[in-house]
Structure 1
Amino acid sequence: MSELGGLLVVRGLSAGYGAAPVLHDVDLTVAPGSISAVVGANGAGKTTLLRAVSGMLRPLAGRIELAGEDLRGTPVEQLVRRGMAHVPEGRGVIGELSVDENLRLGGLWRRDRADAARALDEVYQLFEPLARRRRHLGHQLSGGERQMLALGRALVGRPRLLLLDEPSLGLAPRVVAQIMALLRQLRDRTGLAVLLVEQNVRSALSVADQGVVMSLGRVAATAPAAELRDDADLRHAYLGF
């Protein structure tokens, strides 16, 4: 494990598109079995952070470690094998495939076929609506069911670290509450670590252990989530409530 018990450790990370940096000298630590919520205004660099950590975007500078291993230059498929899963904004469900086929994609790389089958069964137990609709195609699902499917596909790979980008986007408040409760349940039951990017700040901080406030590509504050919720000056300055 890396410094301070961090499963994920990011130090001095700068990243962007082309030669234009979006992130500037970002430091971040996510402990095993914890939820870290990255919050901030649109354009703060939250999604760019997840893309850089997951290998979708090559950093311009800095270091990213998973369980003490340097991830720089590691292909995305190897990051998955090392225990990282990324559910991007928009969910990425394949509409032409059934629920069952989408979920099985999450475990195709796994050599332990018996455990992959157990993981699939566990996802169906976790997401009962998917179990009822396992033969339905992805495009036939509601927005909430598609989010469940994207999460379930990631979980079939049994990740240690889940990167989750805007899971509440376009969903009804009731469904958002269910998803946030599920993240807490996964943390408590399985020890999953979650790096959560979320515009719904109240929901994110209600389930998170740690809050990371980003502004203009930099980390403006890092603190226990409860402290951020109670810091009126910080909320007004960076979070708009």
Structure 2
Amino acid sequence: MSALLEVEGLTAGYGAAPVLHDVSLSVQPGQIVAVLGANGAGKSTLLRTLSGLLPATSGRVTFDGQDLRGVRVERMVHLGIAHVPEGRGVVTELTVDENLRLGGLWRKPQPPLEPIYELFPRLAERRGHLGHQLSGGERQMLAIGRALAAQPRLLLLDEPSLGLAPKITAQIMGLLRDLRDRTGLAVLLVEQNVRSALSIADQGVVLSLGRIVTRHDAATLVDDADLRHAYLGF
């Protein structure tokens, strides 16, 4: 099977200081790949570069065979890539319903929101509430829901569990697994909660100081005690 996302020799950073060094990885259709590592490893920089928010210094990124160099951020969405950055960015002055409609605004006709509300019953209960009236978990659900409203094929998801209670984290991880199984959505997941990420991931990529130190299926990473202690903190 051909990779949906292919990253080869990617180097990127801020100004003259590279953060990522010669990073190569791939994501297959319907696969969850977890990007793991300590703070400062370059995980968020990787997602920002893949979504076009940060230019690459060198290397090649292709999505479904199309070279993404020079592709504008808004075009990425049209191609089928959705990025949920760290921080649960929602428009706090808009309602839940209005935030979700923003996600599919470019599609004509706009996709129905009911499938999103079926995924997130709590959002259905809060659909008329403003963003600033939501809890942290509800905002994370809304950020993911808005990305899904664009009907992506690849979801770039940055630290979805940050600051959330374990119960909410488990719900979100379960949702990602269900989406992969039911719809074939591919997910590149950056996550500090290593156990949660590996519990749903097909493969794991471990970054250290901007370089990939290992790539394995999730079960192998869980079973490798030396690797876990050295890079993953458990």
- TM-score bin (small chain): over 0.9
* Identity %, equivalent residues: 71
Give secondary structure in 2 for the equivalent of 1:89.
Answer: coil
Partner in structure 2 of residue 34 of structure 1:
31
Q: Once superposed, what is the RMSD of the aligned Cα atoms?
A: 0.6
Structure 1 residue 5: deviation in Å?
A: 1.8
* One-letter identity of the residue aligned with 1:231: D
- 1:175-214 aligned within 5 A: 175-214=168-207
What is aligned with 1:79?
A: 76
1:175-211 per-position Cα deviation (integer Å, ceiling 9, x unaligned): 0000000000000000000000000000000100000
1:45 lines up with 2:42 in the alignment = yes
- In the alignment, the residues of structure 2 paired with residue 130 and residue 112 of structure 1 have an alpha-carbon distance, to the nearest angstrom, of 22
The residue type equivalent to 2:133 in the other structure is Q
**Counterparts of 1:80 and 1:47, CA distance in 2:** 18
- The one-letter amino acid of 2:26's match is T
Partner of 1:219: 212
Mapped pair 1:169 → 2:167: no
Which amino acid counterpart does residue 66 of structure 1 have in structure 2? F
SS at match of 1:23: strand
Residue 123 of structure 1 and its aligned partner are, at CA, apart by 0.1
Q: How many residues align?
A: 234
| Whole-angstrom CA distance in 1 between matches of 2:143 and 2:231 | 30
Q: What does residue 140 of structure 1 align with?
A: 133
CA shift for structure 1 position 79:
0.4
Are 1:54 and 2:47 an aligned pair?
A: no
- What secondary structure sits across from 1:97 in the alignment? coil
After superposition, give the CA deviation of every residue in 1:65-100 in whole Å (9 maximum; x if it has no partner).
000000000000000000000000001111110000
Q: CA deviation at 1:111?
A: 1.7
TM superposition shift of 1:155 = 0.4
Partner of 1:149: 142
Q: Secondary structure at the match of 1:124?
A: helix
Pairwise CA distance, 1:112: 2.9
CA deviations 1:35-74 (Å, max 9, x no partner) are 0000000000000000000000000000000000000000
| Residue segments in structure 1 that go unaligned for 5+ positions in a row | none
Partners of 2:28 and 2:211 lie apart in 1 by 20
Code of the aligned partner of 1:5: S
> Separation in 1 of the partners of 2:173 and 2:83?
17
Cα separation, 2, equivalents of 1:112 and 1:69: 25
* Residue among 211, 227, 230 paired with 1:234: 227
Cross-structure match for 2:2: 5
Q: TM-score, normalised by structure 1?
A: 0.96
Give the 4+ runs in structure 1 shifted more than 2 A: none
Cα deviation 1:185-238 (Å, max 9, x = unaligned): 000000000000000000000100000000000000000001000000111111
The whole-number CA distance in structure 2 between the counterparts of 1:7 and 1:30 is 6
Are residue 128 (structure 1) and residue 125 (structure 2) matched? no
SS at match of 2:47: helix
Unmatched 5+ stretches in structure 2: none
Q: Secondary structure at the match of 1:206?
A: helix
- Offset from partner CA, 1:104-163 (integer Å, 9 cap, x none): 0001101233xx12xx11001110000011000000001110000000000011000000
Alignment-derived partner of residue 97 in structure 2: 100
